[in-house]
Amino acid sequence: MESAILMETSADNIDFMIHGIFSYELFGHEVWITTSHVCILIIMLVILTFAVIANRKLKHASEVPDGFQNVIELIVEKLDGMVMGTMGPKAGPKFVNYISTVFIFILMSNISGLFGLRPPTADYGTTLALALITFVLIHFTKIKNRSAKFIWEDLCSPLPPWLPLWVPINLISIIAVPISLSLRLFANVLSGTVMMALVYGLLSKIAIIWPAALHVYFDLFSGAIQTYVFCMLTMTYIGQNYEEV
């Protein structure tokens, strides 16, 4: 009987791929607007609406916070505490805006699977872009804060600076940072998306209420953990360049 349930709903209605909506020509290449773009636009609209409402509310902020103002202050305080606690008082204030923006965007993207969207972070383009911004920030702050001598010594690090045998291995470890950052986020969200698509596609006859538990794990818990990990690693990599040597 169980196999009959599996047989009736064949593999045809499993769907977790990115779909193109329409294509256009750009410098002779065919470029597609996909479902990921649409989901990112929806998430941006939600965040923008929240920001505009919060801005209106805080223009008439009261000394004793009430209702909605409590929520905004709680979010800002938690994000401030997270960034300041990890990056320290010197680098923290410079990066709190960026890290908070990325945190809110990735969190909203990850939990958008709950609302029937395909999470944009399950598209490698999105996560690679985020990781490349981190990569550029790491090396920008490094060049800004460290002398050329220190960077060269760091590049040859286990061996003395006049013996640059270790440089290729250190270069590989530098390039591995954005790749591992982006693949970690991408694969985690994608695995959740695929699992939910398999549950809904193969077990659609008996998928009544219990997939909610899976949604809590794959979308909420895993999404929040991966958001935290991405921001934490970004902060540690950038914060390294501000520490006293």
Partner 1 sequence: MNITGTDLILACSAIGAGLAVIAGIGPGIGQGIAAGYAANAVGRNPGAKGDIMSTMLLGQAVAETTGLYGLLVAMLLMFVKPLVP
- Residue ranges in contact with partner 1 by CB under 8 A: 17, 180, 183-184, 187-188, 190-191, 194, 225-226, 228-229, 232-233
In whole angstroms, what is the distance from residue 126 CA to residue 129 CA? 5
Burial class (CB in 10 A: 0-12, 13-18, 19+), 16: middle
In whole angstroms, what is the distance from residue 195 CA to residue 214 CA? 9
* Paired residues of 29 in beta bridges: 26
CB of 68 or CB of 221, closer to partner 1: 221
CB of 15 or CB of 73, closer to partner 1: 15
CB of 148 or CB of 172, closer to partner 1: 172
CB of 141 or CB of 227, closer to partner 1: 227
Q: What minimum distance in Å lies between the beta carbon of 229 and partner 1? A: 4
DSSP 119: P
Alpha helices in 28-123 (DSSP H): 35-59, 67-111
Q: What minimum distance in Å lies between the beta carbon of 233 and partner 1? A: 8
Q: What minimum distance in Å lies between the beta carbon of 29 and partner 1? A: 20
Q: What minimum distance in Å lies between the beta carbon of 45 and partner 1? A: 29
Contact 108, 43 (CB under 8 A): yes
